[in-house]
Amino acid sequence: MLKTHFFNYQKGPFIISVLFDFLGNGIFNVDGESWKFQRQVSSHEFNTKSLRKFVQTVVDTELHDRLIPMFSDAASDKTVLDLQDILQRFAFDNVCKIAFGFDPGCLLPSLPQAQFAEAFEDAIYLSSERFRAFLTIAWKIKRFFNIGSEKRLKIAVSQVRDFAKKIVREKKQELADKSSLESVDLLSRFLSSGHSDENFATDIAISFILAGRDSTSAALTWFFWLIHKNPEVEKEILKEIKEKSNMPVFEEVKDMVYTHASLCECMRLYPPVPVDSKLAMDDDVLPDGTVVKKGTIVTYHPYAMGRMEKVWGSDWAEFKPQRWLERDEAGKWSFVGRDPYTYPVFQAGPRICLGKEMAFLQMKRVVAGVLRRFKVVPAVEDVFQPELVVYLTSKMKGGFNIRVEERGELD
């Protein structure tokens, strides 16, 4: 599905139609030549050192100017925070700056309800509800008559796309007024490299915001819960943070192999995108002999794959970062990755996630920045048992209420 017969398993008209109002012809909602073109353009930009540096600067600014002070205030005032909401706001601010060069300010101390952020959240939820409709015709009828959830979706999508197009127009004018490119956000890069069609730029920017907003925040929400439940893992991470604390930022996160392994193990159990479906364009036979007829929707489940005993062993249910590590002769940990077809958390094959390294950079900076100073504990420690819910990405049902405690000096 993801490699050898990649072109036989595509998004297909059903999935594209469900998400089209929201994502348009963005990279996550197209097949064939349109996908190939966007992939090539995006791949070039994602591989530039200047973009990686820009991402690092954006993340560190949001971390030190907003997230850390918010945690510090919560620790002093003994207030309860919904960590899932806080991390979504953090990620949304970051990805809007990276994609648009625009700061929505979602993580300002007042936790404002930004219209663009709220509309984006509504568009995600209501679009995903279309997949759950008992009959496809049901949501199409509601859309035709502009009633119920489809009326709300139309309003949300209109707000998202109108705002995105406004940013695109302003960026185009900014670039036209200046002889050299000063902005290094993705939108400016696309526009300045000749891809100036308004709809193209809008679609691709919205797709990247979707990818960057929910994936890292979902992973980090589950991560902080898992390390609370596994204090021996938290202890090892703190040891690593202390060892790397005097290194430059990029070198610090690059060398945090135990933290990297812990994040991989978290996403094995709770992948941000727990399920993915494709449409068979022609008859096919899977490697195990299963016959797939043309027009069949085929789904693979990273969530289920991460819990298979024959892949991960009899201890699959345990949170064990060590399964991703091995020690060298000097006793130093080194990371041992799994092939992306065993562990398709970041997809695999031609559609493998372009932002993987940037996602790990952001997640490890948050982990190091937060755990260096704070201990994160569930507001209701003994009875809290999170429940997974799935929209376009996985989340904790009802959020994750926490208290923050100052750690003091690392032991």
Nearest alpha carbon to residue 403 among 379, 385, 384, 381: 379
Residue 250 has pLDDT above 60, yes or no: no
pLDDT in tens, 290-302: 999 999 999 999 9
CB 85 within 8 Å of CB 198:
no
pLDDT in tens, 61-95: 999 999 999 999 999 999 999 999 999 999 999 99
Q: CA 153, CA 147: separation in Å to the nearest integer?
A: 10
Mean pLDDT of the chain: 91
| Tokens 């309800």, located at residue | 113
Burial (CB count <10 Å: 0-12, 13-18, 19+), residue 382: exposed
Question: What is the pLDDT, as a whole number, of residue 308?
Answer: 97
* Beta-strand relationship, 401-406 and 374-378: antiparallel
Q: CA 312, CA 323: separation in Å to the nearest integer?
A: 9
* Beta-strand relationship, 284-285 and 394-396: unpaired
Mean pLDDT on 102-128 = 92
Question: What is the pLDDT, as a whole number, of residue 42?
Answer: 87
Q: CA 118, CA 82: separation in Å to the nearest integer?
A: 16
Question: What is the pLDDT, as a whole number, of residue 247?
Answer: 59
Residue 170 has pLDDT above 70, yes or no: yes
Q: CA 296, CA 402: separation in Å to the nearest integer?
A: 44
CB 78 within 8 Å of CB 381:
no
Q: Which residues contact 322 (CB under 8 A, 6 or more apart)?
A: 261
pLDDT in tens, 22-35: 999 999 999 999 99
pLDDT in tens, 347-359: 999 999 999 998 9
Question: What is the pLDDT, as a whole number, of residue 252?
Answer: 61
Q: How confident is the model at residue 387 (pLDDT cuts 50, 70, 90)?
A: very high
Q: How confident is the model at residue 171 (pLDDT cuts 50, 70, 90)?
A: confident
Question: What is the pLDDT, as a whole number, of residue 190?
Answer: 84
* Beta-strand relationship, 297-300 and 276-280: antiparallel
* Token reading at 117: 């952020």
* Token reading at 83: 């960590």
Question: What is the pLDDT, as a whole number, of residue 180?
Answer: 61
Q: How confident is the model at residue 393 (pLDDT cuts 50, 70, 90)?
A: confident
Q: Whole-structure pTM over 0.95, yes or no? A: no
Q: CA 157, CA 162: separation in Å to the nearest integer?
A: 8
Q: How confident is the model at residue 246 (pLDDT cuts 50, 70, 90)?
A: low
CB 38 within 8 Å of CB 30:
yes
Mean pLDDT on 102-120 = 92
CB 230 within 8 Å of CB 222:
no
Q: How far is CA 273 from the centre of its chain?
A: 8
pLDDT in tens, 214-230: 889 999 999 999 999 99
* Token reading at 330: 């000097």
Question: What is the pLDDT, as a whole number, of residue 249?
Answer: 54
Helix (H) or strand (E) holding 172: helix 148-177
Find the largest Cα–Cα distance for the chain: 69
Q: CA 243, CA 237: separation in Å to the nearest integer?
A: 10
